A and B are shown apart, each in its own frame.
Chain A
Amino acid sequence: QSALTQPPSASGSPGQSVTISCTGTSNDFDYNYVSWYQQHPGKAPRVIIYEVTERPSGVPDRFSGSKSANTASLTVSGLQDEDEADYYCSSYAGGSSPVVFGGGTKLTVL
């Protein structure tokens, strides 16, 4: 299973909305086990979206996820300075292989 494809960078001004895409093959998103992770420099990642659209408790509702065909997306609304971080998507595509990640997107708040 190949890595999922994310844009290397994204940016937006405070208060704006930004959408990060995660593209795979037609099989990569057959299951609704798509997750998104946020990672600040020097820190471990934390899950912010799971099962395409679900948010763990404590994650602001400014973060939302969606999926269509072979693309999953993370939208960050009302950008805040603390949203500046790396974001990774992941998906389970069936079989016995471990979860596969996207290459990551560095989000810059201008």
Chain B
Amino acid sequence: EMKLVESGGGLVQPGGSLRLSCAASGFSFNTHYMSWVRQAPGKGLESVAKIVLDGSEKFYVDSVRGRFTIFRDNSKNSLYLQMNSLAADDTAVYYCVREVFWRFDLWGRGTLVTVSS
């Protein structure tokens, strides 16, 4: 069974940092682009970061560029999102997703990040 499992979410103070992890299984991780998509409470979906197969190229939405870093470890079938300088509007469920030709065809269950003092 193909699966993505996120971890690392939680409560963090404004200005703080958090690292999300995503463990992939059941498919060839190193042959797929990967992304993080977030959803603020009661709001829509936002694609925040994307990484190519070998990690050599990364793409970010403007609102997180310079604060978030996406990276991957193909030897561990894992995807990560390092989030720094967190603000209240970063509060969201963060989904690890597999991307195939600009469609997200496999989703994790998500991990909740809450930024609050």
Contact = CB atoms under 8 A, between A and B. Distances in A.
Given A44-B108, A97-B59, A98-B59, A33 B103 contact: yes
B102 A92 contact: yes
Contact of A35 (B35, B104, B109): B104
B47 A47 contact: no
Interface residues of A, number: 25
A96 interface: yes
Query: Shortest 8 CB-CB distances between A and B: which pairs?
Result: A92-B102, A98-B47, A33-B102, A44-B107, A50-B103, A35-B103, A104-B44, A101-B45
B50 interface: yes
Given A45-B107, A102-B44, A51 B101 contact: yes
Interface string A8-45: 00000000000000000000000101010100000011
Contacts of A31: 102
Given A37-B45, A51-B101, A88-B45, A96 B59 contact: yes
A104 to B, nearest CB: 4
A99 B50 CA distance: 9
The majority secondary structure among interface residues of chain B is strand
A104 B39 CA distance: 11
Interface in B57-100: 59-61, 95, 99
A101 B45 CA distance: 6
Contact of A104 (B45, B48, B49, B102): B45
23 contacts: A3-B44, A33-B102, A33-B103, A35-B102, A35-B104, A44-B107, A44-B108, A45-B45, A46-B107, A47-B103, A47-B104, A47-B105, A50-B101, A50-B103, A90-B102, A90-B103, A90-B104, A96-B59, A98-B59, A99-B35, A100-B47, A103-B44, A104-B44
B104 A37 contact: yes
Interface string B17-60: 00000000000000000010000000011111110000000011
Contacts of B49: 98
A19 B45 CA distance: 20
